Chain A
Amino acid sequence: MIFPDQEANRDVRIGVYICHCGSNIAGKVDVQDVAAFAQGLPNVVVSTTYKFMCSDPGQELIQNDIKEHQLTRVVVAACSPLMHETTFRKAAAAAGLNPFYVQIANIREHVSWVTATRDLATEKAKAMIAAAVERVALHTALERKQVDVHPDALVVGGGIAGIHAALTMANAGKKVYLVERDPSIGGHMAQLDKTFPTLDCSACILTPKMTDVKGHPNITLWAYSEVTAVEGFAGNFTVTVKRKPRYVNEDLCVGCDECIEGCVFKDGRVADEFNAGLSKRKPIYKPFPQATPSTVVIDPEACLMLSKGKCKQGCVEACERGALDFQQQTRYEQIDVGAIILATGYQTFDAGRMPEYGYGRLDNVLTSLEVERMVTSSGPTDGHIVCKDGTPPKSVGIVHCVGSRDKKHNAYCSKVCCMYSLKLAHLIKEHTGADVFNFYIDMRTPGKGYDEFYDRLLNEGVQFVRGRVAEVTDWAMTPEEEGKLVIRAEDTLIGTARRIPVDMVVLSVGLEPQADAEEVRRIFNIGCGKEGWFMERHPKLAPVSTFTDGVFVAGCCQGPKDIPDTVAQAGAAAAEALAMIDKGFVEIEPNTASVDADLCSGCKTCLPLCPFTAITRNEDQGVAQINEALCKGCGTCVAACPSGAIQQNLFTDEQIYQEIEGVLEYV
């Protein structure tokens, strides 16, 4: 909607509307007294109160007055503008007034809720309203600009969150780029054996979706690629994607694996990332049998040809299609998209950071992810859970909360560990018949069918010891402990310290933000909390939006969550992105800053301060300029400009000074 500055030359005629907010305001503020006071303020034509100004009758009251009294300005004294500023702006606009002629005086959060006595509250409310009245007289009509939205979308991260989001948007007819850093999509879910609490096979439910991605006409899958730069703004992003060389031509390779057989190394040489390092892979490899795309990849550091420049090249000989290409280089592609969904996932806590648990020091102390790989039939031990000597364990201890709920590491609960520990306990018992001990702080099993699963485990004879594990040691105090791993823990239910000897210890490691989350967040210009998880716009009401319009988050990059929650969030993020794309345009709030080129000295002070990278320097004129579409109106540059060359709509110096005058004059 365009609002021409039609009222600019008319007299300022202000209506003041004081809300009771039930008893929230009226209980503390003498609203009638305040209304009478406001009536006497300059330019105020009408001043009245109402029980709930935000209700339909309340809004109609304002709208009728605008028409009846030819109001040109409206002051609403009510709750925080965060709650209802939009409501009243819309109401004014519907009555033909430019919405930016509305000013809110917050007499609830700033007055009635926080002031000691009725008299003080009433006086403060008067001062606040006086300030709003003085200020609103100087408001100018502003217009919201509209910018077209590019219909394509980008999804970053090919775990289950990214896969689900990409498929949802692609099924809605949008062209989607799915960028994944690893050689294959699938993420952590592809590494899991079973999923809790239903125990359905993780690969069986995931791989069909991976295949759908590969075959979808609307999805461009770029695996082994990373986003390196994002420019532009909501609806119009230009994204640079780095496509790392696979040294195998994706168009020619059919994933037959003959080259892997042909490699001069007969056995694996490098720790296999997919198997959590439990096996070795060759320099030329496919991460796992169902890898998507099925194109093989060459690790340039391990490959003799690429690292030393000399090799018999058994792989080249083996490939009938001539797909190997040692000359491949890193490529950069630029794409334009309207919306971006970040689904970059998590990493697991490095158990070596808790040396008291012996990981990396003591044999048969494993992480949950390692055991997950062991128990998978296609894993490094063909589905057998075995100790280092190849024998199955007779007893296993599962230590919960490794790195989680621990102020020394991560204070938060990683949310999934209790449930996956139960799942592993079940699988270990099923596969080996071992005695299984779970050491937990609290069992956290909220979710559909989750507590029932816990109950099932209790009945399966898995033992539960409530207490944080102090240490895992190979120090034997008794002959029975000889050669075992001894778990020392306080059993808080029976109030004693226990030593429980076991053959294998599983450390249920927590979830952490990706190591490069900080870098990624900078590229996409979004925020993150103190732990490093990407920050949603509102924890309850905007859980997949971010403070950068057009960039959405899904899955564990926003915080630990299980697969059902991840998929739900991915669907939500896709829906939000689709809503934005299908609307066709984005509206830009007019509370942006602008540079007066005559006053700007070109000192560049403002450039690094802008959290939204909205300011650039016009090199021809030697002055700063602000991209209105990127500016969020935070005001940082306005305050910092040493020449006073930057002004912000709705917050001009005059408006702010007049507001201060208003407070001081009427206190």
Chain B
Amino acid sequence: MKYLYYPGCSLKGTGRAYEESLLVVLPRLGIEVQELEQWNCCGATAYMAVDEMKAFALAARNLALAEECGNGDGKPVQMIAPCAACYLVLNKTQRYMREYPEVGKKVGDALRSVQLQYNDHVRVRHPLDVLTHDIGPAKITEAVTRPLDGLKVACYYGCQIVRPFADFDDQHNPQSMETIIKALGAEPIDWPLKTRCCGGSLTGTIQEAGLRLSYILLQEAKKRGADVLVTACPLCQFNLDSYQGQMARQFGTSVNLPAAYFTQLMGLAMGIKPRKLGLHRLTVPLEPAVNARQGALA
């Protein structure tokens, strides 16, 4: 199966480990990805907050470029957008162009000025969607060489993946990541905070508030017995992993819970070398937690 791949800025920067792990895991499941050429910023965060129309135009340029990659079979181009913010903005742009003629016209004009056009012929997919629906848990289990038996995993989706545009999972109690984690032999914990805010960019602006939100998530996951937390969003991962030292200083207790990408855990279960999965980039190491659980079982 072939998909286009839109990395976005995070997967080339702070979220490199997400790209590294994703791009080694997907081929193991028979998925070929081809990076979109000439891609630009998706239009998220500051753009969307300051000037929505500019954000739509930026996103639409990526969509228009993706549409050009179609092979003319009449089927929509399937493009994987792993970053939660990119996924949201690309979907939002499609929706707004479709439902608000004024947006469609303005963005269309902007595209035409650079000899591009977009005809709503791209389907933006999240890896969670592709893995659960196009591949399926049985195939994932087949690729597992080191089942993560007994490992208790908190699946954390963050705010942007399932709300408000995703149609592949429940908005309030999503289950796709759990499906994948179960396919690895691990045990997802049931917890109510899986779509609650991680603090987002507050960690950079009002740090006290941002840290508190991240800390709440980590504490609750730990309280409910999680050995590790996995996520599918670069900003969530960054907030939850990199600031644990500061959280310990601010709140007086250390959480010490690995917060990794779900693709990194998939890679471990498939026996891929840790370095290839970008595990060395994590602040709180993942492997000891996994090994401890496996050791306890053995």
Give residues in A with beta carbon < 8 Å to B: 354-356, 361, 471, 473-475, 477
Q: Does B45 contact A (CB under 8 A)?
A: no
Evaluate contact between A475 and B170: CB separation under 8 angstroms.
no
Evaluate contact between A475 and B173: CB separation under 8 angstroms.
no
Evaluate contact between A355 and B170: CB separation under 8 angstroms.
yes
Evaluate contact between A473 and B216: CB separation under 8 angstroms.
no
Question: Which residues of the other chain, A, contact B216 by a CB distance below 8 angstroms?
Answer: 477
Q: What are the interface flags for B160-182 relative to A under an 8 Å C-beta threshold, 1 for contact and 0 otherwise?
A: 00000000001011000000000
Question: Which residues of the other chain, A, contact B192 by a CB distance below 8 angstroms?
Answer: 471, 473-475
Cα A355 to Cα B191 with chains together (Å): 13
Question: Which residues of the other chain, A, contact B170 by a CB distance below 8 angstroms?
Answer: 355
Identity of the chain B residue whose Cβ is nearest the Cβ of A355 in the assembled complex = B173
Cα A615 to Cα B232 with chains together (Å): 60
Evaluate contact between A471 and B220: CB separation under 8 angstroms.
no
Evaluate contact between B172 and A356: CB separation under 8 angstroms.
yes
Identity of the chain A residue whose Cβ is nearest the Cβ of B191 in the assembled complex = A475
Cα A562 to Cα B191 with chains together (Å): 39
What are the 9 closest A-B residue pairs judged by CB atoms, nearest first?
Answer: A355-B173, A356-B172, A473-B192, A355-B172, A475-B192, A475-B193, A355-B170, A475-B220, A474-B192
Q: What are the interface flags for B26-40 relative to A under an 8 Å C-beta threshold, 1 for contact and 0 otherwise?
A: 000000000000000
Q: For the complex formed, measure the closest distance between the CB of B50 and the CB atoms of chain A, giving whole angstroms.
A: 27
Question: Which residues of the other chain, B, contact A475 by a CB distance below 8 angstroms?
Answer: 191-193, 220
Evaluate contact between A361 and B173: CB separation under 8 angstroms.
yes
135-179 of chain B: CB within 8 A of chain A: 170, 172-173
Main secondary structure of the interface of B (DSSP, over half): loop
Q: What are the interface flags for B91-104 relative to A under an 8 Å C-beta threshold, 1 for contact and 0 otherwise?
A: 00000000000000
17 contacts between A and B (CB under 8 A): A354-B172, A355-B170, A355-B172, A355-B173, A356-B172, A356-B173, A361-B173, A361-B190, A471-B172, A471-B192, A473-B192, A474-B192, A475-B191, A475-B192, A475-B193, A475-B220, A477-B216
200-237 of chain B: CB within 8 A of chain A: 216, 220
Cα A474 to Cα B191 with chains together (Å): 8
Identity of the chain A residue whose Cβ is nearest the Cβ of B173 in the assembled complex = A355
Cα A475 to Cα B216 with chains together (Å): 10
Cα A361 to Cα B170 with chains together (Å): 14
Known: A361-B190, A473-B192. 10 other contacts (CB 8 A): A354-B172, A355-B170, A355-B173, A356-B173, A361-B173, A471-B172, A474-B192, A475-B191, A475-B192, A477-B216
Q: For the complex formed, measure the closest distance between the CB of A578 and the CB atoms of chain B, giving whole angstroms.
A: 51
Give residues in B with beta carbon < 8 Å to A: 170, 172-173, 190-193, 216, 220
Cα A471 to Cα B195 with chains together (Å): 12
Q: For the complex formed, measure the closest distance between the CB of A499 and the CB atoms of chain B, giving whole angstroms.
A: 13
Q: For the complex formed, measure the closest distance between the CB of A570 and the CB atoms of chain B, giving whole angstroms.
A: 39
Cα A477 to Cα B193 with chains together (Å): 12
Cα A473 to Cα B224 with chains together (Å): 14
Question: Which residues of the other chain, A, contact B172 by a CB distance below 8 angstroms?
Answer: 354-356, 471
Question: Which residues of the other chain, B, contact A354 by a CB distance below 8 angstroms?
Answer: 172
Cα A477 to Cα B219 with chains together (Å): 10
Identity of the chain B residue whose Cβ is nearest the Cβ of A354 in the assembled complex = B172
Q: For the complex formed, measure the closest distance between the CB of A359 and the CB atoms of chain B, giving whole angstroms.
A: 11
Most buried by B among A354, A471, A475, A477: A475
Cα A361 to Cα B192 with chains together (Å): 10
Q: For the complex formed, measure the closest distance between the CB of B219 and the CB atoms of chain A, giving whole angstroms.
A: 10
Cα A354 to Cα B170 with chains together (Å): 10
Question: Which residues of the other chain, A, contact B220 by a CB distance below 8 angstroms?
Answer: 475
Question: Which residues of the other chain, A, contact B190 by a CB distance below 8 angstroms?
Answer: 361
Question: Which residues of the other chain, B, contact A474 by a CB distance below 8 angstroms?
Answer: 192
Cα A356 to Cα B173 with chains together (Å): 7
Identity of the chain B residue whose Cβ is nearest the Cβ of A477 in the assembled complex = B216
Cα A473 to Cα B193 with chains together (Å): 9
Identity of the chain B residue whose Cβ is nearest the Cβ of A408 in the assembled complex = B171
Q: For the complex formed, measure the closest distance between the CB of A252 and the CB atoms of chain B, giving whole angstroms.
A: 51
Q: For the complex formed, measure the closest distance between the CB of A347 and the CB atoms of chain B, giving whole angstroms.
A: 22
Cα A354 to Cα B172 with chains together (Å): 8
Q: For the complex formed, measure the closest distance between the CB of A367 and the CB atoms of chain B, giving whole angstroms.
A: 18
Question: Which residues of the other chain, B, contact A361 by a CB distance below 8 angstroms?
Answer: 173, 190
Cα A611 to Cα B191 with chains together (Å): 52
Cα A471 to Cα B190 with chains together (Å): 16
Cα A30 to Cα B126 with chains together (Å): 67
Cα A98 to Cα B265 with chains together (Å): 86
Identity of the chain A residue whose Cβ is nearest the Cβ of B190 in the assembled complex = A361
Question: Which residues of the other chain, B, contact A473 by a CB distance below 8 angstroms?
Answer: 192
Cα A471 to Cα B173 with chains together (Å): 11
Cα A361 to Cα B175 with chains together (Å): 13
Question: Which residues of the other chain, A, contact B193 by a CB distance below 8 angstroms?
Answer: 475
Identity of the chain A residue whose Cβ is nearest the Cβ of B196 in the assembled complex = A475
Identity of the chain B residue whose Cβ is nearest the Cβ of A357 in the assembled complex = B172
Cα A471 to Cα B193 with chains together (Å): 11
Cα A475 to Cα B173 with chains together (Å): 14
Question: Which residues of the other chain, A, contact B173 by a CB distance below 8 angstroms?
Answer: 355-356, 361
Question: Which residues of the other chain, B, contact A477 by a CB distance below 8 angstroms?
Answer: 216
Identity of the chain B residue whose Cβ is nearest the Cβ of A473 in the assembled complex = B192
Identity of the chain A residue whose Cβ is nearest the Cβ of B223 in the assembled complex = A476
Most buried by A among B173, B192, B216: B192
Q: For the complex formed, measure the closest distance between the CB of B29 and the CB atoms of chain A, giving whole angstroms.
A: 29
Question: Which residues of the other chain, B, contact A355 by a CB distance below 8 angstroms?
Answer: 170, 172-173
Q: For the complex formed, measure the closest distance between the CB of B64 and the CB atoms of chain A, giving whole angstroms.
A: 32
Cα A471 to Cα B192 with chains together (Å): 10
Q: For the complex formed, measure the closest distance between the CB of B274 and the CB atoms of chain A, giving whole angstroms.
A: 33
Q: For the complex formed, measure the closest distance between the CB of A337 and the CB atoms of chain B, giving whole angstroms.
A: 47
Q: For the complex formed, measure the closest distance between the CB of A358 and the CB atoms of chain B, giving whole angstroms.
A: 8
Identity of the chain B residue whose Cβ is nearest the Cβ of A356 in the assembled complex = B172
Cα A473 to Cα B216 with chains together (Å): 14
Q: For the complex formed, measure the closest distance between the CB of B252 and the CB atoms of chain A, giving whole angstroms.
A: 16
Cα A356 to Cα B162 with chains together (Å): 13
Identity of the chain A residue whose Cβ is nearest the Cβ of B175 in the assembled complex = A355
Cα A622 to Cα B170 with chains together (Å): 54
Identity of the chain A residue whose Cβ is nearest the Cβ of B216 in the assembled complex = A477
Q: For the complex formed, measure the closest distance between the CB of A500 and the CB atoms of chain B, giving whole angstroms.
A: 16
Identity of the chain A residue whose Cβ is nearest the Cβ of B174 in the assembled complex = A355
Q: For the complex formed, measure the closest distance between the CB of A487 and the CB atoms of chain B, giving whole angstroms.
A: 13
Cα A474 to Cα B192 with chains together (Å): 7
Identity of the chain B residue whose Cβ is nearest the Cβ of A358 in the assembled complex = B192
Cα A509 to Cα B195 with chains together (Å): 25
Cα A356 to Cα B192 with chains together (Å): 9
Cα A354 to Cα B173 with chains together (Å): 9
Cα A473 to Cα B220 with chains together (Å): 12
Cα A89 to Cα B125 with chains together (Å): 65
Q: For the complex formed, measure the closest distance between the CB of B69 and the CB atoms of chain A, giving whole angstroms.
A: 35
Question: Which residues of the other chain, B, contact A356 by a CB distance below 8 angstroms?
Answer: 172-173
Q: For the complex formed, measure the closest distance between the CB of A19 and the CB atoms of chain B, giving whole angstroms.
A: 44
Cα A626 to Cα B146 with chains together (Å): 72
Cα A355 to Cα B194 with chains together (Å): 13
Identity of the chain B residue whose Cβ is nearest the Cβ of A486 in the assembled complex = B192
Q: For the complex formed, measure the closest distance between the CB of A477 and the CB atoms of chain B, giving whole angstroms.
A: 7
Q: For the complex formed, measure the closest distance between the CB of B48 and the CB atoms of chain A, giving whole angstroms.
A: 24
Cα A361 to Cα B191 with chains together (Å): 11
Identity of the chain B residue whose Cβ is nearest the Cβ of A361 in the assembled complex = B173
Q: For the complex formed, measure the closest distance between the CB of A260 and the CB atoms of chain B, giving whole angstroms.
A: 39
Cα A475 to Cα B196 with chains together (Å): 11
Q: For the complex formed, measure the closest distance between the CB of B230 and the CB atoms of chain A, giving whole angstroms.
A: 19
Identity of the chain A residue whose Cβ is nearest the Cβ of B220 in the assembled complex = A475
Q: For the complex formed, measure the closest distance between the CB of B30 and the CB atoms of chain A, giving whole angstroms.
A: 32
Q: For the complex formed, measure the closest distance between the CB of A666 and the CB atoms of chain B, giving whole angstroms.
A: 41
Cα A660 to Cα B190 with chains together (Å): 71
Cα A126 to Cα B172 with chains together (Å): 62
Identity of the chain A residue whose Cβ is nearest the Cβ of B193 in the assembled complex = A475
Cα A110 to Cα B91 with chains together (Å): 45
Identity of the chain A residue whose Cβ is nearest the Cβ of B170 in the assembled complex = A355
Q: For the complex formed, measure the closest distance between the CB of B99 and the CB atoms of chain A, giving whole angstroms.
A: 15
Q: For the complex formed, measure the closest distance between the CB of B175 and the CB atoms of chain A, giving whole angstroms.
A: 10
Q: For the complex formed, measure the closest distance between the CB of B266 and the CB atoms of chain A, giving whole angstroms.
A: 26
Cα A282 to Cα B161 with chains together (Å): 46
Q: For the complex formed, measure the closest distance between the CB of B164 and the CB atoms of chain A, giving whole angstroms.
A: 10
Question: Which residues of the other chain, A, contact B191 by a CB distance below 8 angstroms?
Answer: 475
Cα A361 to Cα B194 with chains together (Å): 15
Q: For the complex formed, measure the closest distance between the CB of B172 and the CB atoms of chain A, giving whole angstroms.
A: 4
